[in-house]
């Protein structure tokens, strides 16, 4: 396993991080499954575990907490907030009112007195940056979080938050967690240059592109998924973007085979090759999934392989731009781009 410094924090983290989104109902993963996965990941040298309050409505955090009991000090523990937790309108977002409550709830579920990294899961357009950063800074000073970061923020929001922290003398976000894979390279255009400029750590989620780069999805093979209707749409070959992804996958398989690698090794090696990326977050549902991904722990792609990938999916290109989660609100709500 390789290790890198998380931004400018001085904290050393593994280049593969264990994501716990599939723990619980989302991935149909039991506590015994989750504990076995955590055990194997830690034994392999992974020291960063990432979860969120909304994963299976808190169940993931509970499972992580039980799995790491007795070895908390050896783990860089990260979680996230802001996504809705229930039907109450104020049980979401990044207001001080909610973040204080959400963090206490997360700490209780995890069975710990602090987390190392607390992340704003999505930018909340209803809440000012100074409100959120002031709350996070106070929680940091209270010892409940060591550092805080953002997740899936557009580049301009990362810049705005940095300026707000400076103007109001608050601690800044020190990490960003964006979606990034061979098939979704859009963050290379704006987000990664910004995070590199500010010296932020970058934890890339979905490096296997929701399974497209797992090796299980191939031309002529039936695509099956036990996920939600939304996930099933992501594999519907009637969608042009999905046909483009499948074509890219077939070409990438050839590149991987010629390099003596699995597609998973190629995909994870690509993400961790970018100098702006600290870690790739893997999210296995089973031990077999974990083992196949751990095989990429020491993968270093040579220049000719990276060039071959660039020829298949150009730098900065998202093959499925409609699946981005950082779209400005005015593009989604007509009332925000028209005068009343």
Q: What is the DSSP string of 161-200?
A: HHHHHHHTT-PPP-EEE-B--SSB-GGGTTHHHHHHHHT-
pLDDT over threshold 60, residue 305: yes
Indicate which residues carry an active-site annotation.
55
3-class DSSP state of 262: coil
The answer to the question of residue 339 being in a domain is no
The answer to the question of residue 337 being in a domain is no
Residue 228's pLDDT is: 53
What is the full DSSP assignment across 278-311? -EEEE--SSHHHHHHHHTTTT----HHHHHHHHH
pLDDT over threshold 80, residue 232: no
Residue 178's pLDDT is: 97
3-class DSSP state of 323: helix
The answer to the question of residue 340 being in a domain is no
Mean pLDDT across the chain, nearest whole number?
95
Residue 224's pLDDT is: 65
**Residue 69 or residue 224, greater confidence:** 69
Residue 221's pLDDT is: 78
Per-residue pLDDT of 241-283, as tens digits, reads 999 999 999 999 999 999 999 999 999 999 999 999 999 999 9
Residue 177's pLDDT is: 98
Q: Residue 81: which CATH number?
A: 3.20.20.100
The answer to the question of residue 323 being in a domain is yes
Residue 327's pLDDT is: 81
Residue 278's pLDDT is: 98
Can you give the residue range of the structural domain that contains 152?
3-332
**Per-residue confidence band for 233, with pLDDT thresholds at 50, 70 and 90:** confident
**Per-residue confidence band for 229, with pLDDT thresholds at 50, 70 and 90:** low
Distance CA 201, CA 276 (A): 8
Q: How many domains does the chain have?
A: 1
Please report how many Cα atoms fall inside a 13 Å half-sphere around the Cα of residue 99, on the Cβ side: 26
Per-residue pLDDT of 3-41, as tens digits, reads 999 999 999 999 999 999 999 999 999 999 999 999 999
The answer to the question of residue 303 being in a domain is yes
The answer to the question of residue 338 being in a domain is no
What pTM did the predictor assign? 0.94
What's the token pair of residue 219? 């031309």
Give the mean pLDDT of 77-98: 97
**Per-residue confidence band for 231, with pLDDT thresholds at 50, 70 and 90:** low
The answer to the question of residue 117 being in a domain is yes
The answer to the question of residue 136 being in a domain is yes
Per-residue pLDDT of 58-84, as tens digits, reads 999 999 999 999 999 999 999 999 999
């Amino acid at each position: 396993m390789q290790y890198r410094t998380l931004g400018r924090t001085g904290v050393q983290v593994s280049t593969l991080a264990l994501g716990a989104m599939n723990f619980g109902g989302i991935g149909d993963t039991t506590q015994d499954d989750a504990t076995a996965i955590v055990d194997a990941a830690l034994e392999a040298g992974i020291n960063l575990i990432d979860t969120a309050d909304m994963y299976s409505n808190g169940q993931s955090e509970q499972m992580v907490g039980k799995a790491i009991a007795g070895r908390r000090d050896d783990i860089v523990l990260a979680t996230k907030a802001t996504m809705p937790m229930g039907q109450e309108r104020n049980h979401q977002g990044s207001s001080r009112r909610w973040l204080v409550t959400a963090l206490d709830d997360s700490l209780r579920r995890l069975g710990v007195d602090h987390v190392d990294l607390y992340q704003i899961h999505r930018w909340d357009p209803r809440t000012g940056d100074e409100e959120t950063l002031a709350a996070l800074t106070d929680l940091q000073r209270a010892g409940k979080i060591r550092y805080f970061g953002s997740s899936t923020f557009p580049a301009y929001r990362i810049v705005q938050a940095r300026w707000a922290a400076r103007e109001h003398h608050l601690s800044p976000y020190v990490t960003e967690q964006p979606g990034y894979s061979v098939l979704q390279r859009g963050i290379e255009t704006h987000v990664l240059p910004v995070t590199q400029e500010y010296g932020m750590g970058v934890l890339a989620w979905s490096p296997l592109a929701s399974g497209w780069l797992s090796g299980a999805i191939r031309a002529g093979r039936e695509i099956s998924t036990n996920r939600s209707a939304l996930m099933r749409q992501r594999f519907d070959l009637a969608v042009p973007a999905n046909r483009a992804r499948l074509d890219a996958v077939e070409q990438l398989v050839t590149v991987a085979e010629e390099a003596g690698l699995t597609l998973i090794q190629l995909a994870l090696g690509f993400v961790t090759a970018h100098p702006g990326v600290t870690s790739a977050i893997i999210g296995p549902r089973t031990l077999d999934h974990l083992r196949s991904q751990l095989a990429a722990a020491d993968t270093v792609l040579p220049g000719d392989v990276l060039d071959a990938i660039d020829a298949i999916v150009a730098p900065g290109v998202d093959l499925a731009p409609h699946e981005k989660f950082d779209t400005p609100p005015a593009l989604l709500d007509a009332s925000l781009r028209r005068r009343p």
